Structure 1
Amino acid sequence: MSSGVPVSCHSPEMIQYSTEDRTGHSRRQAADEYELVWADEFEGTSLNLTNWQYEVNCDGGGNNEYQCYTAREENVAVRNGSLFLTAVPGAYQSKQYTSGRINTANSSSWKYGRFEMRALLPDARLLWPAFWMMPADSVYGGWAASGEIDILEFRGGRDNQHESNLHYGGTYPKNTYTGTGALVYPTNLTLDFHVFSVTWTPTSMQFYIDDVCHWNASLLNSYNNPASQSFPYTDVGQPFDQPFFIILNLAIGGNFFGADGQSLTLAEAKNWSRPSLEVDYIRVYQRNETDHMLSHPITSNSSSCLSVYSGLTCRTTSANESHLNSYNLDDTLGYLCENYPQYCKNILNGQYYSSCNKAVRTSMAMDQYYRDFGPDNNTCYFSGLGQLNGTTVIYVPSTTIADVQQCSDMWNSLKCRTSSEDVETVGLDLINGARGWLCSNRPQFCTNITNGGYYSHCNPAQMISQAIDLYYLQYASTQGADACSFGGLGYVQAITTSTTSQKSTTTSSTVSSTSSSSSSVASTSTSDVIQSTTRSGQIESISVRVQGRVSDFNVTKFVQTLSNAVKIPIQRLRVNDVRSGSVILDMSILPATDQSDTRTTSSISTAIKSTDTQAILASNGYIVMDVSDSPITTTAPNDTSSQNDSNSSPPYNRLGLILGLSVGLVVLAAVLVVAAIIYYEGRRRRMAEANIAMVLSNG
């Protein structure tokens, strides 16, 4: 694998101009039979929606960016033979700036070929234009396990710097990347049009500016990430052996600029000299006999695909991808294919239904999941993406929604949360940045705060705290306190419990990579069970012991499986603590979100212990050893799985062992000294007696 330092490339193929194609433009064709297979020359007066779709969101790209992306003409426009993505200062929803982002996810994706953009880069500090590609299907898992190809990234204000990158290695946070770093171009890149391109083959990716290669990335090595114990790939070149689609965007500020990323002011933005990415064309070339066969146009109007979609019980709310949240669609398909690959065998990698559009293919996987884990509506919810066939809407608004006091009680009970419940104190941009990434890439952690979820009426600081706490509980055993940070948003709470009131109190501790080890997070006193009450009734507690080790345990998947197995809405389950002793989960059961759901802790315990539930949990790899309405002790009798867990012995047991050994050694040493004294004293006396006898005999 490349070290990330650019190496000299082989000379690019000798590109020659041949006869004009049907658009009137000369068609580029390489000596080894490259031909133009897709292009947009932006010759009309509006964006060609057959080729592109708008992305509309204010998520900040997961990079703390300043902008909302819109479909407004001031942000995305086609005129005079060019596409213009323009950054505009001015308040819009939660942001102070707007810009444009488009992609080909609904129209086409490609595996291998040459991908080109001829463009004039913006001349404005802190603008971040990018020409990049993402996987059409998350075959290897969520970002970045299924890959990302950054053909061009440019930092406005540093006008001769550019870079290219590949992201891979595992689902965040086990991902990594390889890239060029900030390369220095000989001249100012904002002064003229340039052609930015990548030539992607089964063995390499070569990145160019004006046909001069600046990086050759080999695809003949493994892209697994052993540093994070992440091994999603079984062959070299993966994940870059699947179709990818094109993205063009113009971001504003953010983490890409380092310390400068949050330094933009409205006064400066209003004086930007040229805040547009102007694109002359996007072109895709492939080889006649090889790559061209790997082009994957999406046949969203296929009657056979629509016929399958219409017959599904659980499916997306629309068969048209453009009507769906693209992030939720990618995440749902990635989650199902990663955790339940049997649901995806007919919809990926050239199989029978792989030519259907992503909405139809995702629906097919969702329907199989629903058939296995239903008929609870929540098993077809998928963060608001799903619906039941016909007129039934998946999410029925709760009859019990957390009120102001319950929101505050929830926030106070969390082990990982924001520094304050006050939104202004925390900062809305920081909250939105974390929520945008988390709910897009890990939607299972946002179920309770989106689309009418139990905590969806809480304020943004309380809601993001609920989500990052679930993330922290999942990843604390491997990441420690870093799993709570989210760029300084989250703080781990030190929990103490009063012996008289049994109410928990918490104090904040700043997150750092050295302040908390995974063992200290994973092993907690049994008194750390959070007890709280709400206006609508007591929050009940339950403790479950599962065979295994904390370091290997997937909390989120277990809770999802448990809610499906015992037919309890996942919104009612909250994990308060995860401890060693096999794996002990201290959980709260929240008030029912439906008046018909009146089950108590004891009835749920009975359901978990039932033969049917045990079979479902066992089929998913979970052997339940004990269930109790009160906290389970750390010691696990007759459980050999915890004997190799470094966190399984309480600290005071280890201390007692050390003290006992020390005392024993001191006593042993004293005995040996006394024995030696007795031995030598006896010997001295015998020798003295012998000498006296000898003298007497000689006298």
Structure 2
Amino acid sequence: MDFHHGTATTTATNSPRPGTPDDNDHIEPTPTHNPFQTPYGSIPASAVGSSTGFQVQPPPRYFHSRRINRAEIEKPWLEKKDPKEKWVTIIPIIGMVLGIALTGFLIYEGLQTISNHVYCPVLDEDFSGGLNPKTWTKEVEVGGFGNGQFEQTTNTDENAFIQDGMLHIKPTLQDQKLMESNNVINLLKDGSCSSDIWSNCVAVTNTTNGTVVNPVKSARVSTRGGPKIKFGRVEVVAQIPEGDWMWPAIWLLPANETYGPWPASGEIDIMESRGNNYTYPQGGNNIVSSALHWGPTSSADAWWQTNVKREALHTTYSAGFHTFGLEWTEKYIFTYIDTRLLQVLYTPFNKPFWQRGDFPVADSNGTRLVDPWSQTGRDTTPFDQDFYLILNVAVGGTNGWFEDGVKSKPWVDASSTAKKDFWTARDQWYPTWEKNGQMVIKSVKMWQQQGYNGC
């Protein structure tokens, strides 16, 4: 053993043993694969652009599909089928066939009830020529038209006039001197009264007992002296007013009281509303209603059985013009808004109105109620006579259209001073009329169904 620089060696170690690394050899570790590196590896800058330096290597394969061959899957259900399995297919097919058949039957039945009526136009009014007196009548009264309404209807241009080619019906305040001192309105004196009943033509202000004449003026325009229809159609394009305690309406009354005084001869309300805004609990100008009035006496009016309301969607009926329509045949009567698809009221004539009403034997006074309609043998009676059209804006009233105690109503229906109380509160309600306190009518069309009235 030699010692060289303190290191022990032997001559036997001059040649390395097989498989043993020499002290002077550099051992490189075996590289491991980095799964996150690019499949192309690192490319020296000198190799960029060289045809031999940049060679794309295919990416390593990490996934091997082990999908089962469908041909190797065993399908025992094909070898022996369940006899009940066929019903999984048969039952749905039967249901589809029955559904198609039922749908076809309903469509056929519906088409059978639809009649394509032929109509004759009897009125096509756009007011371009003014308010034609041969067509329109301005009814003049102070009696409240049976509802205790507060307006005096006039024949002046103050309350019904043509502006911008449209008819405006605008309520206004009564002359203050007629309200606050003893006075009389006598429509018989100048012959302007539309009624032959004295109480509809005369109104009095008596400062002693609190009686006053009508606190507002308005208009009621009708075709009473002009076109009438028995079965047909009506379309009125109108914008209803804004203003507390206004009562706009588009409706029809019979030309003759064939079956007796109102409501025995019927009434058709295409549209009624209130000028109060949408917060009014009974519904303001965001709601319109349609109704039929019919009954043997005024205390036995069965209108509530044929009355439907329709609310405007995210708007009000005073925000723009709408078409208020009526279709009336021997089989049915219905009203609609803007399109016949949007029905409001629908009443089929499929049984006598006396039977429909289920009226009591006698009224509250003990007076026996008598059937005024069934002698005709028609289910349409009393809606089988000539009717004329009315356009008006009423104000207030004592018949319950505006309920007592609702939304600061300034009068009570049963009070003898209801009109005076309303007038006294004018500083509350009159400002609400200033912006849009009028009904504006753009056009009126009436058609007569063929086969009636010479059509």
What TM-score does the superposition give when structure 1 sets the normalisation length? 0.36
Write the letter of the residue equivalent to 2:332: S
- Sort the Cα spacing of 1:179 and 1:156 in 2 relative to 1 into closer, same or farther, 3 A: farther
Residues 39, 281 of structure 1: 8 Å contact kept: yes
Alignment partner of 1:114 is 2:233: yes
Does the CA-based 8 Å contact 2:122-2:227 persist in structure 1?
Answer: no
Matching residue's letter, 1:104: T
Q: Find out whether 1:167 has 2:293 as its counterpart.
A: yes
Please tell me whether the aligned partners of residues 140 and 239 of structure 1 are also in contact (alpha carbons under 8 angstroms). yes
Counterpart of 1:43, as a letter, is S
How far 1:31 moved relative to its partner?
6.3
Query: How much does 1:101 deviate?
Result: 0.3
Contact in 2 for aligned 1:152/1:163 (Cα 8 Å): yes
Give the distance between the partners of 2:428 and 2:120, measured in 1 at CA: 45
The alpha-carbon deviation at position 257 of structure 1 amounts to 1.6
CA distance in 1, matches of 2:430, 2:345: 36
Deviates more, 1:220-229 or 1:128-137: 220-229
CA contact (8 A) 1:44 1:78 kept: no
Which one of the candidate residues 347, 360, 364 is aligned to 1:228? Answer: 360
Is residue 192 of structure 1 aligned with residue 320 of structure 2? Answer: yes
Q: Could you say which residue in structure 2 is the equivalent of 1:43?
A: 128
1:293 equivalenced with 2:450 (yes/no): no
**1:182 to partner: Cα distance:** 3.7
CA offset at residue 73 of structure 1?
A: 0.8
Match of 1:139 among 255, 258, 261: 258
Aligned residue identity for 1:293: G
Question: Is the 2:308–2:344 Cα contact (8 Å) retained in structure 1?
Answer: no
CA deviation profile, 1:668-687 (whole Å, cap 9, x unmatched): xxxxxxxxxxxxxxxxxxxx
Structure label with greater radius of gyration: 2
**For 1:179 and 1:251, how far apart are their aligned partners in 2?**
22
- The unaligned stretches of length 5 or more in structure 1 are 1-9, 15-29, 295-699
Q: Distance in 2 between matches of 1:31 and 1:204?
A: 14
What's 2:441 paired with?
279
Range with bigger deviation, 183-192 or 218-227? 218-227
SS in 1 for 2:428: helix
Identify the residue that residue 53 of structure 2 maps to in structure 1: none
Which residues in structure 2 correspond to 1:665-684 (within 5 Å)? none
Equivalent position to 2:382, from 239, 242, 253: 239
**Partners of 1:159 and 1:281 in 2: how far apart?**
20
Q: Larger relative contact order (C-alpha < 8 A, sep ≥ 6)?
A: 2
The TM-score normalised by the length of structure 2 is: 0.55
| Corresponding residue for residue 96 of structure 2 | none
TM-fit CA distance, 1:282: 1.0
Give the drift of 1:293: 3.2
**Overall identity of the aligned pairs, in %:** 28
Alpha-carbon spacing, 1:223–1:39, altered in 2? closer, same or farther (3 Å): same
Asked whether the 8 Å contact 1:42–1:79 carries over to 2, the reply is no
Corresponding position of 2:174: 90
Q: Is the 8 A contact 2:239 2:319 kept in 1?
A: yes
The one of 179, 187, 190 equivalent to 2:306 is 179
| Alpha-carbon RMSD | 2.4
The alignment partner of 1:228 has SS state of coil
Q: Residue 252 of structure 1: which of 395, 402, 411 is its match?
A: 395
Distance 2:143 2:170 in 1: 18
Contact 2:289 2:344 in 1 (8 A): no
What is the distance in 1 between the residues matched to 2:360 and 2:437?
39
Aligned partners of 2:241 and 2:285 also within 8 Å: no
Q: Which runs of 4+ in 1 moved over 4 A?
A: 260-264
Separation (CA, whole Å) in 2 of partners of 1:39 and 1:162: 24
The one-letter code sitting in structure 2 at the alignment partner of 1:278 is V
- Could you list the runs of 5+ residues in structure 2 that have no partner in the other structure? 1-109, 179-184, 186-212, 277-283, 362-369, 412-421
Which structure has greater helix proportion? 1
Deviation at 1:72, TM superposition (A): 1.4
Shift of 1:85: 0.7
Q: Give CA-to-partner distance per residue, 1:53-105, whole Å, 9 cap, x none.
A: 11111111222221111111110111221111101023354111100001111
Partner of 2:157: 73
CA distance in 1 between partners of 2:127 and 2:392 (Å): 16
**Do the aligned partners of 2:241 and 2:318 also contact (CA within 8 Å) in 1?**
yes
Give the match's secondary structure for 2:318: coil
Distance 1:170 1:31, change over 3 A: closer
The within-5 A match list for 1:475-624 is none
Q: Which amino acid counterpart does residue 241 of structure 1 have in structure 2? A: D
Distance 2:329 2:386 in 1: 12
Deviation track 1:345-394 (CA, whole Å, cap 9, x = no partner) reads xxxxxxxxxxxxxxxxxxxxxxxxxxxxxxxxxxxxxxxxxxxxxxxxxx
CA distance in 1, matches of 2:145, 2:309: 21
Query: 3-state SS of the aligned residue for 2:401?
Result: helix
Contact 1:147 1:240 in 2 (8 A): yes
Q: Describe the SS at the equivalent of 2:174.
A: strand
Does the 8 Å CA contact 2:221/2:391 hold for their aligned counterparts? yes
Say if 1:125 and 1:50 are closer, same or farther in 2 by CA, change over 3 A.
same
